[in-house]
Amino acid sequence: MSRTAYVNGAYVPHRRAGVHIEDRGYQFADGVYEVWSVRHGALMDNEGHFRRLWHSLKELQIVAPMPEVSLAHILREIVRKNRVRNGLVYLQVTRGVAPRDHAFPADIAPALVITAKSMSTQKSEETAKKGVAVFSTPDERWARCDIKSVSLLPNILAKQVAKRQGGYEAWMVDAQGMVTEGSSSNAWIVTKDGVLATRSLADNILSGVTRGRVLALAAQRQLTVEERPFSIEEAQAAKEAFLTAATNFVMPIVRIDDVPVGEGMPGPLAEALRKDYLQSAVT
Ligand code: PMP
């Protein structure tokens, strides 16, 4: 089946979809994005993703392309047109098209692109059953990681470090030797005492929508949660480790820099939270 994309007001064949060469997203990475997971044809955590989208746009002084109800309608349409049952929706808003100049014009209209694709739930389940490996690398990002900007150079270089070593994700480490987050996910451990630890949002990380959901699920399970830094060494010695992201849900981590975590198998808490998440998250 051929795919359909939404580009600036029109539904177009995916293979022919394009933007102008002077789109500021193309020239300056001057834009933001969001990724929704689609399960059983429905968008997961809609509210959280919209909240973060408005935050990112506001912080970069990019005008919202349209109101939330209209955007939500297009998101549903793109899911329908691409017949996605399980997969993801990608939305990107850039500041728009203008003659190249670092400073941006006041009256510029934002550019909007939305795509959708199917993804195998079976593959994700198989990966989760085995667990994944992560590798550490220095966090080289800027001071505004709360903004979900398309400017992802440090993230893609980090992911490549992991991929080159056969890993699934990179865990980025700050100047103090503490893990901030993954290149495209939030980082978690379960300590020897059963305490769930993940970095605080005050520490220049992305406010993961899945992270927020998992914190709520942990509260329901009456787990003790500490939003605090942890080192690679502490994570390697932890009972469990996992990552969270819209497209990965809760993904158990079984090796960190080639050192097995716990028994070297997905931990029970990560598996339980993954189940909780999959049961709870459709909105
Ligand atoms: N951190 C970073 C740097 C990311 O790119 C992502 C994925 N968007 C996340 C965390 C996880 O966020 P979410 O749960 O909203 O997908």
Q: How confident is the model at residue 1 (pLDDT cuts 50, 70, 90)?
A: confident
Q: Is 137 in the same domain as 261?
A: yes
Mean of the per-residue pLDDT values for the chain? 97
Is 163 labeled as catalytic in the residue annotation?
A: no
Mean pLDDT of 173-196: 98
pLDDT at res. 281: 59
Q: How confident is the model at residue 280 (pLDDT cuts 50, 70, 90)?
A: confident
Q: Is 91 in the same domain as 148?
A: no
Place of tokens 């899945």: 210
Q: Is 111 in the same domain as 128?
A: no
CA distance 171 to 54: 27
> Which residues' Cβ are closer than 6 Å to ligand 1?
35, 155, 181, 184-186, 206, 208-211, 244-246
Q: Is 135 in the same domain as 189?
A: yes
Q: Is 149 in the same domain as 221?
A: yes
Q: Is 110 in the same domain as 128?
A: no
- Domain interval for residue 139: 124-280
DSSP readout, 98-146?
-SS-SSPPTTPPPEEEEEEEE--HHHHHHHHHH-EEEEEEE----S-TT
Q: Ligand 1 centroid to 144 CA: how many Å?
A: 14
**In this prediction, what percent of the chain has a pLDDT beyond 90?**
98
Mean pLDDT of 151-173: 98
pLDDT tens, residue by residue, 216-274: 999 999 999 999 999 999 999 999 999 999 999 999 999 999 999 999 999 999 999 99
Q: Is 171 in the same domain as 258?
A: yes
User: What tokens appear for 195 in the block?
Assistant: 């305490």
Domain boundary among 78, 95, 119: 119
For residue 250, the cross-strand partners are 244
- How far CA 232 is from CA of 41, 179, 276, in Å, comes to 38, 7, 27
CA distance 248 to 271: 13
Domain boundary among 67, 91, 119: 119
CATH of residue 164's domain is 3.20.10.10
Q: Ligand 1 centroid to 244 CA: how many Å?
A: 8
pLDDT at res. 70: 98
pTM for the whole thing? 0.97
Burial class (CB in 10 A: 0-12, 13-18, 19+), 64: middle
**Helix, strand, or coil here: 253?**
strand
Q: Is 128 in the same domain as 112?
A: no
Mean pLDDT of 197-223: 98
Q: Is 129 in the same domain as 242?
A: yes
CATH of residue 104's domain is 3.30.470.10
Q: Is 177 in the same domain as 276?
A: yes
Question: Which amino acid would we find at residue 76?
Answer: R
Q: Catalytic: which of 123, 148, 163, 192?
A: 148
pLDDT at res. 283: 52
Q: Is 85 in the same domain as 170?
A: no
Q: Ligand 1 centroid to 35 CA: how many Å?
A: 9
| Number of domains the chain contains | 2
SS3 content of the chain, % helix, strand, coil (to 5): 30, 30, 40
Residue from 183, 184, 250 to probe ligand 1 pocket by mutation (most atoms less than 8 Å from CB): 184
pLDDT at res. 41: 95
Domain boundary among 67, 99, 119: 119
CA distance 255 to 130: 11
Q: Is 109 in the same domain as 149?
A: no
